Structure 1
């Protein structure tokens, strides 16, 4: 037994030596791999810098017109788009964390946009007339997107991890980091635009402002306007008939047969003459008009219109249609904007209307409510109460509470933090307040509302 045991011991020692050697080799390989990765990253960085320098030098050469070529006209046609921010947002949201994903999420949110004087010598002139609108489109840049990484499919937070195409979402990570917000216009003071219902953080570069016009921007409103236009045309025609006769028998001309048309015209002439003799100021029909032949022509046109209207109604009841070439619609000829059919009604994705992620119930601890009540609105803060923190944008603690509820009820956490992260605490900044909260099952609770240190020190 002893010789066999000695052999086993030697074999085990050899195996242990081989394992130790393998471990050392693996360690060396890992170190070599790490150094290779670092060297590769440095090489890529140097290549990117060189490429950027070459590109900038080529752009400068292209911008410098040669004496033989007509330089300035090739820019936009060749896709050389140069954008200049017209101003930068000063917002109650200073960080991406906690900023609403949509402008309607947090109604009390406020921001200011001051136009740059380098774009316009008199910026206030560019804003003239904008105060006549209640809402404006803001076109801006997602300037906090990091390295501008984007993918063809993304995971919207409201879909709770499901993937959809980036162009079917409003994800900020897109090939061109352009953002679009429909904001409420509060007021305009000089070169500064005051906005409500915003989802932009402080420092956001704004590229353009456009007024929101429901007649052009909302398809449902277009249809309603078309229906109102048709109704108004019909009302005007009915009002014309009513102004010519106040008796109900004349209004029922469409119920008479075609054989009684001449009789109805004679009755209409007699009643118009009586009505004009009683009070010419109300009807606005002069004696010269009554004595002329134009009256009879007008009455014949009215009779023809009523007869056609009755014929069209009967045709609709029997499900027979008249072609547009045979019977044009007079109301369509007077519409000064396009007429849209049923296909103009808007439709949206089902997960937008009924998202898998439900809204959360938001509540405050008594300590958080007490801290929030210590904040002063910006227009009430003064040197007498300089020891208390004050808001810069929000006008009251109640408005701040509503803004906090709006942010948290939409669950601003990412899908990873919501489903995989064990840490339930969440931090974000609103105006000049640092908010600490935690998320439970179906609710969010605000634990603490403290003033931002840098703001509190400046006050």
Structure 2
């Protein structure tokens, strides 16, 4: 009887091993297919390049061998510098710059690009934020797909161009970083999501008047009255709309009360600016009040699912709930859009299926983190405590760790297949060990990077 049970256990064990081998073979086939596809693309690209050189190389002027390169689609890029960051590896690096505010980096412009790199940065100190265009140089094998699985969607597939996945045909990254200061040819940045060694292709100043859709919405406002000069009414209309909106949102007053308050403000302005200003402001306020009444009625009717007076006898605008599929499936609910001023975004960006995590520290991890010294700290002779290179204090390190872990930096594979395994990442000169539970992440250990291999081997 015991021999039969032993044979049965052995057979079951062999079945499990076979299943594991089949899964590994399947994964290897996928990798091989992806590598073969990438190889074919590279070979086709090289053949096209050689063919163009053979047919068009002789037609180029000898005095300018690079003339017409951009017009022919041959784009040549040279990194202007490389990032020195508090993140040294991909694991644990934030996916977006706003996730970890205390994250810091420096960018030094190469002298091979400009003889005087500091001249290229002249005037940039007047801006608070900059766009950083860089390369995802740690992508590994150059493979990409039309559909990807963003970690925030927890395994659901969407088009690659509706995400910020690093795996794309052209591995370009874009980050809006905070500009802390400029020292000579070096830019000091914070709120970043780039790892050390990232090649930077370009930097551009962030200008809200050009880059933010909210600031563009005012350009579409048309004069409200035909008997008023546009130059006189346009700035007044914007001010009054802002006043009405803030009054309704902040004080909780009704639209009629808001209109009365606006008329009072208009009267006060008219006493200062004279009778002509009084007529202009009151006309603008009256027209804005009428327009606001209409908008409020339409919004209220839309929310209450009733037709406003203007829609009686006319075709009612289509709502998502009016379609035959009033209750979309779970996979489609996250593709809805959210409106913010003059722009819209996918609903899953603000309301992802993956919720934020509570971050905890064990007492041992807190004590280890307190040992780290800031970069400019002048310690006593013989003090062997570890020192940060970018982070200014242990409190700032705590905030950075919370920012990284609260957004759940694990991939979908690790969330589903490696739930019980420890998670490691590097922040500045600290190597962090943590584990994830249901709705939380707990930091277990914080060790200096140079001690991490020795500690792990014991």
If the TM-score is normalised by the length of the shorter chain, which range does it land in?
A: 0.5 to 0.7
The 1-side partners of 2:38 and 2:282 are apart by 82
The 5-angstrom pairing of residues 111-122 of structure 1 reads: 111-122=105-116
Q: What is the match of residue 230 of structure 1? A: 235
Contact 1:438 1:447 in 2 (8 A): yes
Q: What is the match of residue 83 of structure 2? A: 89
The 2-side partners of 1:233 and 1:42 are apart by 57
The 1-side partners of 2:90 and 2:431 are apart by 13
Contact 2:134 2:201 in 1 (8 A): yes
Q: What is the match of residue 433 of structure 1? A: 430
The 1-side partners of 2:202 and 2:366 are apart by 39
The 2-side partners of 1:414 and 1:201 are apart by 17
Matched, 1:215 2:215: no
Q: What is the match of residue 439 of structure 2? A: 442
What SS does structure 2 have at the residue aligned with 1:215?
helix
Pick the aligned partner of 1:165 from 142, 155, 159.
159
How far the C-alpha of 1:381 sits from its partner, in A, is: 4.6
Pick the aligned partner of 1:391 from 388, 391, 394.
388
Pick the aligned partner of 1:103 from 90, 94, 97.
97
Pick the aligned partner of 1:190 from 177, 184, 187.
184
The 1-side partners of 2:293 and 2:342 are apart by 28
How far the C-alpha of 1:419 sits from its partner, in A, is: 1.3
Q: Which runs of 5+ in 2 are unaligned?
A: 1-24, 222-232, 241-265, 295-338
The 5-angstrom pairing of residues 57-72 of structure 1 reads: 71-72=65-66
RMSD: 4.2
What SS does structure 2 have at the residue aligned with 1:112?
strand
* Bigger Cα Rg: 1
Contact 2:420 2:436 in 1 (8 A): no
Q: What is the match of residue 19 of structure 2? A: none
State TM-score, norm by structure 1.
Answer: 0.65
The 2-side partners of 1:149 and 1:45 are apart by 6
What SS does structure 2 have at the residue aligned with 1:405?
helix
How far the C-alpha of 1:422 sits from its partner, in A, is: 4.0
What SS does structure 2 have at the residue aligned with 1:347?
strand
The 2-side partners of 1:423 and 1:189 are apart by 45
How far the C-alpha of 1:222 sits from its partner, in A, is: 2.2
What SS does structure 1 have at the residue aligned with 2:193?
coil
Q: Deviations over 1:21-62 (max 9, x none)?
A: xxxxxxxxxxxx9xxx9xx99999999998898778778777
Query: In 2 relative to 1, CA 230–447 (structure 1 residues): closer, same or farther, beyond 3 Å?
Result: same
Query: In 2 relative to 1, CA 69–136 (structure 1 residues): closer, same or farther, beyond 3 Å?
Result: closer
Matched, 1:380 2:381: no
Q: Which runs of 5+ in 1 are unaligned?
A: 1-32, 255-304, 320-341
What SS does structure 1 have at the residue aligned with 2:189?
strand
Aligned length: 345
The 5-angstrom pairing of residues 259-408 of structure 1 reads: 345-382=342-379, 384=381, 386-408=383-405
The 1-side partners of 2:123 and 2:97 are apart by 24
Q: What is the match of residue 339 of structure 1? A: none
Contact 1:381 1:390 in 2 (8 A): no
The 1-side partners of 2:35 and 2:155 are apart by 35
Q: Deviations over 1:75-129 (max 9, x none)?
A: 1111100000000000000000000000000000000000000000000000001
What SS does structure 2 have at the residue aligned with 1:404?
helix
Query: In 2 relative to 1, CA 88–313 (structure 1 residues): closer, same or farther, beyond 3 Å?
Result: closer
Q: What is the match of residue 414 of structure 2? A: 417
TM superposition outliers: structure 1 runs of 4+ over 6 Å = 40-65, 225-228, 232-235, 237-241, 305-319, 454-457
Contact 2:133 2:203 in 1 (8 A): yes
The 2-side partners of 1:401 and 1:420 are apart by 28
The 2-side partners of 1:197 and 1:128 are apart by 22
The 2-side partners of 1:379 and 1:315 are apart by 61
The 2-side partners of 1:97 and 1:396 are apart by 23
The 5-angstrom pairing of residues 125-204 of structure 1 reads: 125-204=119-198
What SS does structure 1 have at the residue aligned with 2:435?
strand
Query: In 2 relative to 1, CA 230–309 (structure 1 residues): closer, same or farther, beyond 3 Å?
Result: closer
Matched, 1:123 2:122: no
